[in-house]
Amino acid sequence: MQTRKLGKNGPEVSALGLGCMGMSSGYGPAAEKGPMIALIRSAVERGVTFFDTAEAYGPFANEELVGEALAPVRDHVVIATKFGFGIRPDGTRYGLDSRPDHIRQVTEASLRRLNVETIDLLYQHRVDPNVPIEDVAGTVKGLISEGKVRHWGLSEAGARTIRRAHAVHPVAAIQSEYSLWTRDPEPEILPLCEELGIGFVPWGPLGAGFLTGKIDSATTFDSSDFRASCPRFTPEAREANQALVALLGRIAKRKEATPAQVALAWLLAQKPWIVPIPGTTKPHRLDENLGATEVQLSPSDLREIEEAASRITVQGARLPEEILKLTGR
């Protein structure tokens, strides 16, 4: 497995990480614990060293799962987790909460659930408009000086917020949705990351499964699957957006690859400090995703994809409106 460095201040990790959220939440009922531990350990055996979780996934259960799965190889992997939501002990939420005292409470709880002495990468999950980002950055800076956190980052933050946060303590990574059908970070965030030497971690690099080519207008979703309420996953939007899958399919056929592999290879080709974190609960999909690192897209391939994609208008907002409102500025 190839490795990449997350910006000039971040850790060195495998070129592809593993997003673990879907093992516990987001895409329907939680998967069985045993097979998921086996899947995570299989990823390690295949060279993956970067694993993404959060207290909100479950809530709480995903951190425990990841901590147990990676305990035997703790010193050889990088674990990223997140704070930022207000979550009661019973798992119910009360909005955003990045108050300094709450950040410290969440960090201590995450350390226990992950069964680690230090969190490798701690993100603010969503920007809290009620707490100045300088206070957030200062709190995490203190946690870093205490040895409880190594690096920190922001998720779905805007350019102004990133600059202000970075001025207090260097930001190692920005995590936001990014794929061939969600290109929001390109105008401002990616250039800013390059300017400041910050790594970028695309979540949803396969469009929540859509870019694999395995979802069509007839696909149904469990009521607990976020895609059931996502505008981009209405039957009409899925039908309209098949043009993007067809584009990936054409390139994949030529490369003797799959659409998912081409989608991931496209991301890897954008910048050397981009590290996608595709998630899965299926061993064969893990193998498929990791195979993307062997797919080489030439400059002419990339131009072809760019020219064709520019003629496709993606239908539907990427997330429900109430979640989009949590995107930082």
Catalytic residue numbers read 57
Sign of the C-alpha dihedral computed for residues 65, 71, 76 and 80 taken in this order: positive
Strand, coil or helix: 93: strand
d(CA 67, CA 23): 13
Strand-pairing partners, residue 19, are: 52, 279
> Beta strands of 6-47 (E only): which ranges?
12-14, 18-19
Amino acid 70 reads L
Amino acid 228 reads A
Amino acid 114 reads L
d(CA 102, CA 139): 10
d(CA 218, CA 203): 25
Instruction: Give, as one character, the DSSP assignment of residue 3.
Output: E
User: Is 202 in contact with 176 (CB distance < 8 Å)?
Assistant: yes
Count of CB atoms within 10 A of residue 216's CB? Answer: 12
d(CA 91, CA 87): 6
Helix (H) or strand (E) holding 160: helix 159-168
d(CA 125, CA 119): 15
Among candidate residues 4, 146, 136, 149, the one with its CA nearest the CA of residue 79 = 149
Strand, coil or helix: 174: strand
